[in-house]
Chains A and B, each alone.
Chain A
Amino acid sequence: MISRRWLLGLPLGVATLGGVAFWRMLGGMRQGTFDPRGLPSALIGKTVPDFDLPAQLPSAQGFSNADLHQAAAEHPLLLNFFASWCVPCIEEHDQLMALRGGGLPIWGIAYKDQPGAAADFIQRHGNPYQRIAADAPGRVAIDFGLYGVPESYLLDRTGIVRWRWAGAITADVASRQLQPLLQHYA
């Protein structure tokens, strides 16, 4: 006969399990590993789409996917889509500067921006990018499957996209997600 105690304890057991699960969900949401409304990226595990973009000041040269591939061969690099009109991009900027200071090459693409505005943005907040290109019409972004700005892609040394982050890279995201990947693909 099932002991009464067991039955009486069942609701508490279920509630505890639920509580633990929700705790983990919340934790995941803060770190960015759990996103109940996120849409996955199809680029993971593949090379970047073909493109060739003009320069965005203060960078003298634009770049193409071939340039990216070549540069990534030396060191995993981060491709970052940003815009001067995008507020979280400002916050992310500090983090990008820190990452660059730590030796990570970052290439930037100004998305749907005016060249003057983007240049001002860089001048005001600092330039973490080795090269910056301009995608004013936003068509390359569509090829990437961009959902908005800021958005970043990590390319490994074979030029394959290994990680995509939609949103600002916070210190938490950088340390918990990006750094381990950098070590892994170094």
Chain B
Amino acid sequence: MIPELGHFALALACVIAAAQAVLPIWGAWRGDARLMRAAPALAVGQLLALLAAAGALVWSSVVSDFTVLNVVQNSAAAKPLLYKITGTWGNHEGSILLWALILALCGGAVAGFGGNLPSALRARVIGVLGGTSCGFLFFALITSNPFLRVWPPPADGQGMNPLLQDPGLAFHPPILYAGYVGFAVPFAFAVAALIEGRVDAAWGRWVRPWALTSWCLLTCGIALGSWWAYYELGWGGYWFWDPVENASLMPWLTGTALLHSAIVVEKREALKVWTVLLAIGTFSLSLSGTFLVRSGILNSVHSFANDPARGVFILALLALVIGGSLLLFLIRGPALASGGMFAPLSREGALVLNNVLLCAICAVVVTGTMFPLFAELLAGAKISVGAPFFNATVLPLAIPVFAAMAVGPMLAWKRATLWPALQRLWVGALVALAVGLFSVVRWKLLPGLAFGASAWLVLGAVADIGQRIRFGAIGLGASLGRLGGLRRSAFGTAIAHAGMGVTIAGIAGMSLASNSIVLLHPGESTHLAGYTWQLDALEDGSGPNYSARIATISLLEKNGDTRAILRPSRRFFPLQQQTTTDVAIRTTGFVDIYAVLGEERDGGAVLRLHYNPLAPWIWIGALIMAAGGALSLSDRRLRVGAPARQKAATVTA
């Protein structure tokens, strides 16, 4: 009964989405206030229907209803409850439902929080979201229906893959999807603005919170995925330039550019065309990423059902959404009046540089990811593009971005002079130079550049705050007083930029990581990174559905003190005939000690040991970035309704 209701709810959501797509936009065109007012109601209706559908699917999984094909294929009676729930979105059908649910949540959020928007704009935004939802729900109903039934139901399900039962894996999709799909709202805003033919400061202010929210979530999602790969895959790395990883990085890059570009639209009514294009582009990249992975064209550890037939449907959906919006851009773009002038050296100019560089990096990632496919399609050549390529191309482009990140916030709008800005940064510059030079001498060029950039960014953020409280120019007491009165978004910016610095430091540290592969018998030891690693024991262990071999490794200091004990293991699951490796990681916050147990040979074990300096900082930095973004979001001035729209809308900062 419940699955039937779920199925019905899904279909209902599709119908409501169709209405949501058509009626409000028609109403906005006709000036029909009643139809425009219907938009939020329809959005909420779609959301409720999808909540019901998702709830039905989760319920079926929790009670192990094996009449539902999806539950049979992806769950099992003995699966722990947590994974029964989170496994709902770990398969193709479930993840499409999650996509649609989050899209509906976006619509509901605009309905709920968009009270400050003019009726017509809100109607159009919700309408565009409805159209996208409708397409996705059609796709779900026709090719990826999670409510297909099976009769008679089998005794048990097939879905006990131990590799997939992991907390990181459980929570990575929803957060990542929230980021991906969240950019649908700026997309909808852009399309609505194109339909209206107007982009102004007010629009810029309305779009920013939505872009910022999605950006925070996407940052967390990517960081979570990277962290999961680090501790689960056991290769000691945190980023593999895997096509699916790249597919999440691309919208992040343009999303960051969008975030900053929208500021210029709000403050100066300039860069309108850029911002609209970035809004369309970011969501397009999200959608394309989905397509490429699910159709099987891009293959990686993430591939779900590789199904070219599904791929065709998604391609059609993409053609409509992306092609349609870009066509609209072509037709209505000229209607966007050019905005305020600015000198090349100004905050706007710095943000233009930021846009250009981030888009260049994105273009490089896109090319590197797609090149093997096109080489095969056009020339039949079999090549692959990996880390060396991306490192050689992305790093040189990223360095100017980091350099500008500290200087940009110091520049005045419209026209700035460089020297005063640099003067405020002289401390940061000196320290960065010192740190960089020290690192280059001590280690190599690349860590040197990275550590230098990291110091530059963190100190630049401090200098930014210092400049706002006029530190040094007025008394200490007065400065501190100003500190309390600073807007949250000012703190948010500084914190986010500093967070990037922390991540870069983490990456620099990891470039200095050392590892070794040894064969040890119990009692033997080896040396790595100044420590003695001793294999104390190799024992049997077991779990509810697996048998294990566990190694106990002691990390000893030079004087013999035990610094840490690690227990990497290998688990064998007899039912699935699968072996998994369990990495052991201990962290001090500054260094990660990492050990992997390999095969055993005549009483000894092959071990791979890693010493990873500053590894945790990679993810801590990402969290700091997201926290900075969240702090900015909480700034009331960002969210509260913009002043009433004026013809020559000028917004006082």
Which of A's residues lie within 8 Å of B, judged by CB?
4-5, 8-9, 11-12, 15-16, 18-19, 21-26, 28-30, 34, 36-37, 39-40
Name the 5 nearest CB pairs between A and B, nearest first.
A12-B326, A8-B333, A29-B308, A30-B308, A9-B330
Q: Tell me whether A12 and B330 are in contact (CB under 8 A).
A: yes
Interface residue stretch chosen among B43-51, B373-381, B578-586, B645-653: B373-381
Q: Inside 8 A of B115's CB, which chain A residues have their CB?
A: none
Q: Inside 8 A of A23's CB, which chain B residues have their CB?
A: 315
Nearest chain B CB to A33 CB, angstrom units: 10
Q: Tell me whether B284 and A29 are in contact (CB under 8 A).
A: no
Nearest chain A CB to B327 CB, angstrom units: 6
Tell me whether B273 is interfacial, beta carbon within 8 Å: yes
Nearest chain A CB to B1 CB, angstrom units: 34
Q: Inside 8 A of A4's CB, which chain B residues have their CB?
A: 333-334
The contact of A26 among B288, B295, B334, by CB within 8 Å, is B295
Q: Pull 25 A–B residue pairs with CB atoms less than 8 Å apart, ordered by A.
A: A4-B333, A5-B330, A8-B333, A8-B334, A9-B330, A11-B329, A15-B284, A15-B322, A19-B315, A19-B318, A19-B319, A19-B322, A22-B291, A22-B297, A24-B377, A25-B373, A26-B308, A29-B308, A29-B311, A34-B376, A34-B377, A36-B297, A36-B376, A37-B299, A39-B382
Please report the number of residue pairs spanning A and B whose Cβ atoms sit closer than 8 angstroms: 69
Q: Tell me whether B330 and A22 are in contact (CB under 8 A).
A: no
Tell me whether B474 is interfacial, beta carbon within 8 Å: no
Q: Tell me whether A5 and B334 are in contact (CB under 8 A).
A: yes
Q: Tell me whether A16 and B382 are in contact (CB under 8 A).
A: no
Tell me whether B312 is interfacial, beta carbon within 8 Å: yes
Nearest chain A CB to B391 CB, angstrom units: 23
Nearest chain A CB to B418 CB, angstrom units: 29
- Chain A interface SS verdict (over half): helix
Q: Tell me whether A12 and B277 are in contact (CB under 8 A).
A: no
**A105→B275 CA distance, assembly (Å):** 64
- A11-B329, A40-B382 known; A25+B323 contact, CB < 8 A: no
Give A35's nearest chain B residue, CB to CB.
B376
Task: List 6 additional A-B contacts (Cβ < 8 Å) besides A11-B277, A18-B288, A23-B315.
Answer: A19-B319, A19-B322, A26-B315, A28-B377, A29-B296, A30-B309
**A39→B299 CA distance, assembly (Å):** 14
Q: Inside 8 A of B318's CB, which chain A residues have their CB?
A: 19
Nearest chain A CB to B378 CB, angstrom units: 9
Tell me whether B281 is interfacial, beta carbon within 8 Å: yes
Q: Tell me whether A36 and B373 are in contact (CB under 8 A).
A: yes
Q: Tell me whether A8 and B329 are in contact (CB under 8 A).
A: yes
Q: Inside 8 A of A30's CB, which chain B residues have their CB?
A: 308-309
Give A4's nearest chain B residue, CB to CB.
B334
Q: Inside 8 A of A12's CB, which chain B residues have their CB?
A: 323, 326-327, 329-330
**A22→B298 CA distance, assembly (Å):** 11
**A25→B370 CA distance, assembly (Å):** 12
Q: Tell me whether B315 and A22 are in contact (CB under 8 A).
A: yes
Q: Tell me whether A16 and B323 are in contact (CB under 8 A).
A: yes
**A21→B291 CA distance, assembly (Å):** 13
**A120→B318 CA distance, assembly (Å):** 48
Q: Inside 8 A of A28's CB, which chain B residues have their CB?
A: 377
Give B338's nearest chain A residue, CB to CB.
A4
Q: Inside 8 A of B292's CB, which chain A residues have their CB?
A: 22
**A98→B213 CA distance, assembly (Å):** 59
- Chain B interface SS verdict (over half): helix
The contact of B323 among A5, A15, A26, A34, by CB within 8 Å, is A15
Give A28's nearest chain B residue, CB to CB.
B377
**A13→B380 CA distance, assembly (Å):** 25
Q: Inside 8 A of A24's CB, which chain B residues have their CB?
A: 377
Q: Inside 8 A of A26's CB, which chain B residues have their CB?
A: 295, 297, 308, 311-312, 315
Nearest chain B CB to A105 CB, angstrom units: 30
**A25→B312 CA distance, assembly (Å):** 10
**A23→B298 CA distance, assembly (Å):** 14
Q: Mark B307-343, 1 if CB is under 8 A from A, else 0.
A: 0110110010011001100110110011000000000
Q: Inside 8 A of A5's CB, which chain B residues have their CB?
A: 330, 334
Q: Inside 8 A of A15's CB, which chain B residues have their CB?
A: 284, 322-323, 326
**A29→B292 CA distance, assembly (Å):** 13
Nearest chain A CB to B78 CB, angstrom units: 26
Q: Inside 8 A of A8's CB, which chain B residues have their CB?
A: 273, 329-330, 333-334
Q: Inside 8 A of B334's CB, which chain A residues have their CB?
A: 4-5, 8
The contact of B374 among A9, A16, A21, by CB within 8 Å, is A21
Nearest chain B CB to A128 CB, angstrom units: 27
Nearest chain B CB to A32 CB, angstrom units: 10
- A9-B330, A24-B377, A36-B376 known; A29+B297 contact, CB < 8 A: yes
Nearest chain B CB to A25 CB, angstrom units: 6
Give B331's nearest chain A residue, CB to CB.
A8
**A40→B383 CA distance, assembly (Å):** 12
Q: Inside 8 A of B382's CB, which chain A residues have their CB?
A: 39-40
Give A19's nearest chain B residue, CB to CB.
B319
**A155→B182 CA distance, assembly (Å):** 55
Q: Inside 8 A of B297's CB, which chain A residues have their CB?
A: 22, 25-26, 29, 36
Q: Inside 8 A of B326's CB, which chain A residues have their CB?
A: 11-12, 15
Q: Mark B272-288, 1 if CB is under 8 A from A, else 0.
A: 01000100110010001
**A4→B273 CA distance, assembly (Å):** 11
Q: Inside 8 A of A16's CB, which chain B residues have their CB?
A: 323
**A82→B66 CA distance, assembly (Å):** 33
**A22→B333 CA distance, assembly (Å):** 27
**A37→B297 CA distance, assembly (Å):** 9
**A16→B319 CA distance, assembly (Å):** 8
Q: Inside 8 A of B281's CB, which chain A residues have their CB?
A: 11
**A34→B376 CA distance, assembly (Å):** 8
Q: Inside 8 A of B322's CB, which chain A residues have their CB?
A: 15, 19
**A49→B342 CA distance, assembly (Å):** 73
Q: Inside 8 A of A18's CB, which chain B residues have their CB?
A: 288
**A12→B327 CA distance, assembly (Å):** 6
**A44→B318 CA distance, assembly (Å):** 38
Give B288's nearest chain A residue, CB to CB.
A18
- The CB with the most chain A CB atoms within 10 A, among B288, B326, B327, is that of B326
Nearest chain B CB to A177 CB, angstrom units: 15
**A30→B334 CA distance, assembly (Å):** 41
**A105→B284 CA distance, assembly (Å):** 51
**A18→B318 CA distance, assembly (Å):** 11
**A21→B366 CA distance, assembly (Å):** 14
Give A9's nearest chain B residue, CB to CB.
B330
**A93→B309 CA distance, assembly (Å):** 23
**A18→B376 CA distance, assembly (Å):** 15
Nearest chain A CB to B295 CB, angstrom units: 6
Nearest chain B CB to A59 CB, angstrom units: 33
Nearest chain B CB to A77 CB, angstrom units: 26
Q: Inside 8 A of A25's CB, which chain B residues have their CB?
A: 297, 373, 377
Nearest chain B CB to A91 CB, angstrom units: 16
**A22→B294 CA distance, assembly (Å):** 13
Give A22's nearest chain B residue, CB to CB.
B315
Q: Inside 8 A of A37's CB, which chain B residues have their CB?
A: 299
